[in-house]
Structure 1
Amino acid sequence: MNFRNILVPVGLVMVLVVGFRSYGWMGVAAVGGGVLMWALLHFTRLMNVLRKASDRPIGHVGSAVMLNARLQAGVSLMHVVAMTRSLGALQSPENEQPEVYRWTDGTHSHVTCEFHGGKLVKWALERPVAPEDAPEGDAGSAAP
């Protein structure tokens, strides 16, 4: 069970009670204004991330290798979407844990990320295999 779902509302109520006991209704108004500002800041950040992601194709990233280098365990899905500026292509069944998303770049390299509870658990970079029958050397020269 995620204790954050319980602790945040309980903490907010406690801060409101402390505000009321210290300054009366003026304290409640001040604490309420602070909580409202905090919520609006997070909402604004979420909307900016989603607005930037809406301009790009789903599951596309500039460089899968750079994304792989920048990922860290424990970051949220919103943080990864902000880094890629693209929504990931969902690979797992909808509304099922863990959630698996994939971002692919122009060279067909892709990073597959697994999220559990909205947090990045593991990821893997896969690069396309180079064809073995391609001649090594100057591919631009023509044979006589």
Structure 2
Amino acid sequence: MNFSRLVVPLAGAALIVLAYRSYGWPGVSVVAGGLVMWLLLHVTRLMTVMQRAAKQPIGFVASAVMLNAKLKPGVTLMHVIAMTRALGERLTAEGEQPEQYRWTDGSHSSVTAHFRDGRLVSWDLARPAPEDETAQAPATGTAP
């Protein structure tokens, strides 16, 4: 069982109990107001990130190489969405662990991120093979 999901509600309840024992109902109102403000700040951040992500195509990032450099193990999926400003292209089935998402840039470089329980475990950078420049170079010579 994931105990981190229980820590925040239990800490909030403990703060309310301590506020009641120390200051009575005025203490409860101050602590409850602080907890509601904290919750509203997190909801506002979540909504801002999702509004920015809604304006971009799914799975698009400005630069996959820069995203690869910025990623760190243990960050949440929401943090990665905030960095890329786009939802990732889901590569795994719903509910399958680890979850895999891919972000691709304009040069077809892509970062595939692997998340377990919403936290980044690993990621891979895939870059397209360089084109053969000799075949792309225009032929030199004299004009007829």
Cα deviations by residue, 1:100-143 (Å, 9 ceiling, x for unpaired):
000000010000000111110000000011244x417x824555
**Partner letter of residue 134 of structure 2?**
P
**Residues 1:135 and 2:134 aligned together:** yes
Provide the C-alpha distance between the structure 1 equivalents of 2:131 and 2:107, rounded to a whole number of angstroms.
14
Cα deviations by residue, 1:35-80 (Å, 9 ceiling, x for unpaired):
0000000000000000000000000000000000000001111110
Partner of 2:93: 93
Partner of 1:9: 9
> What TM-score do the two structures reach when normalised by structure 1?
0.93
1:23 deviates by 0.6
Provide the C-alpha distance between the structure 1 equivalents of 2:113 and 2:127, rounded to a whole number of angstroms.
15
Give the aligned CA root-mean-square deviation in angstroms. Answer: 1.5
Provide the C-alpha distance between the structure 2 equivalents of 1:31 and 1:110, rounded to a whole number of angstroms.
46
Provide the C-alpha distance between the structure 1 equivalents of 2:27 and 2:141, rounded to a whole number of angstroms.
85
**Partner letter of residue 135 of structure 1?**
T
- Give 5+ residue unaligned stretches, structure 2: none
Partner of 1:62: 62
| 1:6-45 map, 5 Å | 6-45=6-45
Cα deviations by residue, 1:88-111 (Å, 9 ceiling, x for unpaired):
000011122111000000010000
> What TM-score do the two structures reach when normalised by structure 2?
0.93
Partner of 2:51: 51
| Structure 1 residues 143 and 58: alpha-carbon distance in aligned structure 2, compared to 1, 3 A threshold | farther
Aligned length: 142
Provide the C-alpha distance between the structure 2 equivalents of 1:135 and 1:84, rounded to a whole number of angstroms.
35
Percentage of pairs with the same residue: 53
The 3-state SS of whatever aligns with 2:134 is coil
Partner of 1:117: 117
**Partner letter of residue 32 of structure 2?**
G
- Give 5+ residue unaligned stretches, structure 1: none
Show structure 1 runs of 4+ deviating over 4 A: 140-144
**Partner letter of residue 137 of structure 2?**
A
